[in-house]
Structure 1
Amino acid sequence: MIKGKDIIVIGLQPWDIEIGSNCKNIAMEFAKNNRVLYINPPLTFHAIRKNRHNDKVIKRLKIIKGEISDIHQIEPKLWVFYPKIIIPSINWIRCDWLFDVLNQQNNKRFAKEINRAKTSLGFKDVILFNDNHIFLGLYMKNYIKPQFYIYYIRDNLINNPYWKKHGLKLEPRLIQKADLVISNST
């Protein structure tokens, strides 16, 4: 059992998702004995275009504008962070090297926001727990510089057409970067 650590959790599900979330449950479990910073995925231009009247998108846009706080304390040792960035959706790009360049830029911008929240809360020597975020988790070890990096393969995403295109190449690279890989599926 992990105790007395600072843990950053990244994943595919935002905190305000309507359905149950294994990632949220893990974060709450970690928060029983550790300080936890749960990072919502960044807003994308595609999400804004598709859901501009959605309350969650409107809330995130207000956070980006500074009208609402970007860090919310949920429990005594659990905070939820809304990154103040909008990133392009790039999975449609077929050219591998171009996708990789743009993905690295997205990772760098996302990590800059995470580091800002980490500093704001005084998190040090963090454990980074990545719940299946193949694309935005690929360069996090480089930019967050965690003490320990855990990659959790909760679902076999690369069998899904959306993830297969780039995930078949990227997930093995992500696995190599992780200090520990945990899986509950094959």
Structure 2
Amino acid sequence: MNFSLFKSLRAATLLISAAGAAQMACAAPLDIVIGALADYKTFRLKSSELDSLVAPYCTRVRDKARKPMIVREYTCSPESGITAISVDSREGLGEPLPNYMMSIVVDFSADRFPAMKALVVKKLGLPKKSGSDHLAWRYSLDKSLNQNGSPVINLSREDAESASLQIALEQGP
């Protein structure tokens, strides 16, 4: 094999890797948060993991002591592209009625909806339901989670100004 060709291919590979790393470093906070949460593993996300994910961009402003069903609320810096994040919970089945996550909602500007739609479709594949302003991905592989509700990830644009990603258990007990 030609040694100069090998060096050129290696240099090209390193350049592509560096460009990918630079692109990730320059990714907008909204892209980072939506990209991380648009995953079925989010249904098993610990609150400390969510706190770590959003801490660089958002500040926790409310906890369960102030509103029983709202476990956490965050306000985010305007530069992040995230309008707000909220998490609510509900008591689960069985004794001693453990809490489980009902929803994580990430609100953002409607003008970012097409980019977030492309990102979530890239991560989760084609949705089970879709329209011009709404996409839904259902998850049924976690049997114990399905005992508490129907896991679904929704991406929706409510109006000309707001959109959101919702990771939720629908029809819970």
Structure whose CA Rg is larger: 2
Do they superpose with TM above 0.5? no
Structure showing greater relative contact order (alpha-carbon pairs closer than 8 Å, 6 or more residues apart): 1
TM-score (norm 1): 0.29
Higher strand fraction (1 or 2): 2
Higher helix fraction (1 or 2): 1
TM-score (norm 2): 0.30
